[in-house]
Structure 1
Amino acid sequence: MDPRPAPADSLVSLLDQLHDIAEPRPVSMMPATWGWAVLAALLLALFAAGFWAWLRHRRRTAYRRTALAELDTLAPALVGGNDPSALAVLDRLLRRTALAAFPRAEVATLTGSDWIAFLDRTGGRLAAFAPALATGSYARHIPAFDGPGLLKAARHWIARHHA
């Protein structure tokens, strides 16, 4: 080996002057400011409030889903028009639905044209089927009615009535 120092411009002397690479500190996963934490808490609170409101609405309208499912089972008898008890079952279904949504004192005493007027006033399209609904449950002979139209009007009232 040569005991003489290497010239200043030699490659070895230049490499000896280099320092080790300093690694940066790891990046934190925490937000840089409290604002992000507050925003996250606010969004979580809004989500929880929205979920709670949706759940309350879902519970309040459970009677509608039950009535619509029952109406679906009654649909073949109404559309066919050959089952004399179909109108009576439909009338009871509409009354049970109305009793679930409105005060009992307002609904329980309604009969005939008052009942049909109540259904129309609360959001129904059932006035065209007044003779069938008002007397169909009690008459010996079933009045002529449009089964699919009555089914559609009953479904509309159950789904859309406003209490």
Structure 2
Amino acid sequence: MTTNTGLAPLQPENVNPLMASLSEPSLPDSISWMPNAPGWYCLLFLLFCLLLHRIYLRVQTYIANTYRRAALVELEQLSLESLTGERASLERLPQLLRRTALYAYPRAEIAPLTGIDWEKWLDQHCTKRPFSSGFSKSELSGVLAQLAYSPAASLTEEKRKAIMENVALWIKHHEVSHD
């Protein structure tokens, strides 16, 4: 019979006596994600400043384009009114287009323009769909002046859709210095 003297714990017979006195090694500290060199802090600060600047520019562009969103909402209302047959909605279309242009460009540049000159100016500031040369001369050339000044002007459904589409594209894609 073996007696326990309290000096050493009882060992099973198949364990190496030299290994019994070893202890488990401690794990190394976890690797920190914070950089050690001060240059990295400068780089992180510059990246943070760049991110803030980009956010600032996006917000400024969003604010500067508020007039576009308002014009598109009004155009949608005019489109719905014209579908119901209200003639006044088509008469307000040139006013909407000119008002939108006045928000984006100086009054002195826009106020003297009428007729074909106005349509050519619209073409110069948005190349997506031209007003003056995009259609045959008999179709929609001069239709803005016709809608603005002639209460008896009538448009077919195709012409109405085409002019609404042109106005919407111009409002969305005209080029301004803040874009």
Size of the aligned set, in residue pairs, is: 156
Deviates more, 1:29-38 or 1:50-59: 29-38
- The corresponding residue for 1:152 is 165
> 1:82 offset after TM fit, Å?
3.3
> 1:81 offset after TM fit, Å?
8.1
CA contact (8 A) 2:68 2:172 kept: yes
Q: Give the secondary structure class of the aligned counterpart of 1:136.
A: helix
Q: Deviations over 1:94-137 (max 9, x none)?
A: 01100011111111222222222221222152224333211222
Structure 2 CA distance for partners of 1:68 and 1:20, relative to 1, 3 Å: same
- The answer on 1:75 being equivalent to 2:79 is yes
- The corresponding residue for 1:24 is 27
Q: Structure 2 residue aligned with 1:133, among 132, 144, 148?
A: 144
- The answer on 1:95 being equivalent to 2:98 is yes
> 1:152 offset after TM fit, Å?
0.6
Structure 2 CA distance for aligned equivalents of residues 2 and 92 of structure 1: 106
CA contact (8 A) 2:95 2:148 kept: no
* Structure 2: unaligned runs, 5 residues or longer: 6-12
CA contact (8 A) 1:63 1:100 kept: yes
CA contact (8 A) 1:67 1:158 kept: yes
> 1:32 offset after TM fit, Å?
4.5
TM-score by length of 1: 0.78
Structure 2 CA distance for aligned equivalents of residues 106 and 120 of structure 1: 15
Structure 2 CA distance for aligned equivalents of residues 144 and 44 of structure 1: 55
Structure 2 CA distance for partners of 1:81 and 1:161, relative to 1, 3 Å: farther
Deviates more, 1:109-118 or 1:92-101: 109-118
> 1:68 offset after TM fit, Å?
0.8
Q: Deviations over 1:138-157 (max 9, x none)?
A: 21311435111111100010
TM-score by length of 2: 0.72
Structure 2 CA distance for aligned equivalents of residues 161 and 12 of structure 1: 85
Q: Deviations over 1:48-71 (max 9, x none)?
A: 121111111111111111111111
Q: Structure 1 residue aligned with 2:125, among 108, 122, 127?
A: 122
Letter aligned with residue 125 of structure 1:
P
Structure 2 CA distance for partners of 1:36 and 1:116, relative to 1, 3 Å: same
Structure 2 CA distance for aligned equivalents of residues 116 and 134 of structure 1: 9
Structure 2 CA distance for partners of 1:73 and 1:15, relative to 1, 3 Å: same
* Aligned Cα root-mean-square deviation (Å): 2.8
- The corresponding residue for 2:9 is none
CA contact (8 A) 2:91 2:151 kept: no
State, as a whole percentage, how many aligned pairs show the same letter.
28
